[in-house]
Amino acid sequence: MNEVIKIENLKRSYGDIVAVNGVSYSVAKGEMFGLVGPDGAGKTTTIRMLIGLLKPDSGNAQLLGYDLRTQKNKIKDEIGYLSQRFSLYGDLTIDENIEFFADIHGVKNFKERRNELLEFTRLTPFRDRLADKLSGGMKQKLALACTLIHKPKIIFLDEPTTGVDPVSRRDFWKILSNLLKEGITIFMTTPYLDEAERCNRIALMNNGEIISWDTPKKVKASLKEQIVEIVCSPSREAYNTIKANTDYEVQMYGDRLNVALKSYDDEYAKLEKHLTENNIQIVDHRVITPSLENVFIHLISKAS
C-alpha cells in the first residue's frame, strides 16, 4: 500500500481533557478515508494536527513522506483544508474568493483553473455573486473550489456536509467521487455513519481513541452478534423494558428496534416472550445485516 499519511501515536490534550489519545493508522494514496465519530470524539483536533494548525503533545505523522514536526512548510503546499465553519470572505464574489486563495498559494495563471473548478462545482452561473448571498451548499462548493485552486495532493475536509441540505449534500458527494478519479487523496471527518459507508476505509473514533479501523464492510463484519429488527408497538415501552430488564443492546428507530443477540436461535424466543408478557405487540421481526451504527454503539457499550 502506497501510504501518503502515516500517523503514529498522536496525542493532544487541553488541560486535563485528553482530546486525542495515542491514535495510529495510515491512509493510502487516492483513497477516501473517513474519521467517524460523535461531537467531542477528537476528530477536529486530529485533522488540525495533521495540517499543522495544532502541535501534538507527543507522537508524529508523515504526509507524502514529509515529517509533520520538521517539514511542515513542505507539507502545506501539497494539501488543502476545508474547515467546519465557512471561512471565506462574504463581501467578495465567488470569483474574487478563488482569486484570493490563488494569490495565497502563489498560483500565477489561475484563471483557467478557476474556470475548470467553477464548471466542476457548477458555480459558473453564480460567479459574480457575493459569498454572503450563497446557500449553505453553494458556500461549501465555493470553499472546496478555493481548497483545490493550487492542485493539492491531499485534501482534508472537516465535517463538510454538516448543515447542508440533502440535494447539495448529494452534489457534494458527486464532486468528491470525481476528485478520487483524479487521484486526489481525501481525508474527511464526519458524524454521519451513512457517509462513512462511501469511504474506502474508516476509523471509528470515540473519546479520543480509535475503536475500529478498516473498510466499512470489514468493520461491520467484525460484529459477532446477530442484529434482530423487531417492529413492535408501543416501541418506546419495548425499548425501555429491554434496556431495564435484559442485558441485550438495543437501539430504537421509530417503530423498530434493533436488538443484538449472541445467537438468534437460542435467544430470540426468550426475548419475544419477555416482550409479550409486558404487553408489547410484535408486528414483525427479521435478522438484518449489521449497520455501522450497530457496530459503533456495540463497541462504545463494550468499552464503557
DSSP assignments along 124-179, one per residue: GGGTTSBGGGS-HHHHHHHHHHHHHTT--SEEEEESTTTT--HHHHHHHHHHHHHH
Q: What is the mean pLDDT of residues 193-197?
A: 89
Question: Residue 304: what pLDDT?
Answer: 66
Are 283 and 255 in the same domain?
A: yes
Q: Report pLDDT for 70.
A: 93
Instruction: Mark whether 149 and 88 lie in a shared domain.
Output: yes
pTM over 0.85: yes
pLDDT digits (tens, 9 = 90+) for 235-281: 999 999 999 999 999 999 989 999 999 999 999 999 999 999 999 99
Mean pLDDT over each residue of the chain, to the nearest integer: 92
Q: Which domain holds residue 95?
A: 3-215
Same domain membership, residue 153 and residue 40: yes
Mean pLDDT, range 149-172, rounded to an integer: 86
53 alpha-carbon distance from chain centroid: 20
The confidence score (pLDDT) of residue 285 equals 96
Q: Which three cell numbers stand for residue 82?
A: 476545508
d(CA 154, CA 5): 9
User: 173 and 234 in one domain?
Assistant: no
Asked which of 215, 248, 276 is the last residue of a domain, the reply is 215
Instruction: Mark 70-85 as b/e (b = at least 16 C-beta within 10 Å).
Output: eeeeebbebbbbbbee
Whole-angstrom distance, CA of residue 244 vs CA of residue 229: 19
- Confirm if 52 and 78 have CB atoms less than 8 A apart: no
Say yes or no: 167 and 99 in one domain: yes
**Is the CB of residue 189 less than 8 Å from the CB of residue 35?**
yes
| pLDDT > 90? residue 165 | no
pLDDT tops 80 at residue 164:
no
CATH number of the domain bearing residue 241: 3.30.70.100
Tell whether 114 and 151 lie within a shared domain.
Answer: yes
Domain end position, chosen among 215, 239, 264: 215
In this structure, are 152 and 282 located in the same domain? no
The mean per-residue pLDDT over the stretch 69-94 comes to: 88
Same domain, 73 and 111: yes
Q: Which long-range contacts (CB under 8 A, 24 or more apart) does 267-271 make?
A: 268/228, 271/228, 271/242, 271/246
Of 160, 191, 215, which residue constitutes the final position of a domain?
215
Same domain, 34 and 173: yes
15 and 119 in a single domain? The answer is yes
Q: Are strands 17-28 and 185-190 parallel, antiparallel or unpaired?
A: unpaired
Q: In the prediction, which pLDDT does 29 show?
A: 95
Same domain, 131 and 204: yes
Question: Does the structure show a pLDDT above 70 at 150?
Answer: yes
The pLDDT tens digits of the residues spanning 16-33 come to: 999 999 999 999 999 999
pLDDT of residue 23: 95
Give the domain CATH number at 25.
3.40.50.300
Segment 41-57 mean pLDDT: 95
pLDDT of residue 220: 94
pLDDT band at 123 (very low <50, low <70, confident <90, very high): very high
Short-list 82, 44, 43, 75, CA closest to 61 = 75
pLDDT more than 90, % of the chain: 73
Instruction: Give the span between the Cα atoms of 48 and 10, in whole angstroms.
Output: 12
Statement to judge: residues 41 and 109 lie in one domain: yes
How many domains, the chain? 2
Model pLDDT for residues 88-103, shown as the tens digit of each residue: 888 999 999 999 999 9
Tell me whether strands 79-82 and 154-158 are parallel, antiparallel or unpaired.
parallel
Q: What is the pLDDT of residue 222?
A: 93
116-124: list long-range contacts, CB under 8 Å, 24+ apart. Answer: 117/145, 117/148, 117/149, 118/94, 118/145, 120/145, 120/175, 120/178, 121/145, 121/175, 122/171, 123/94
Amino acid letter for position 292 = L
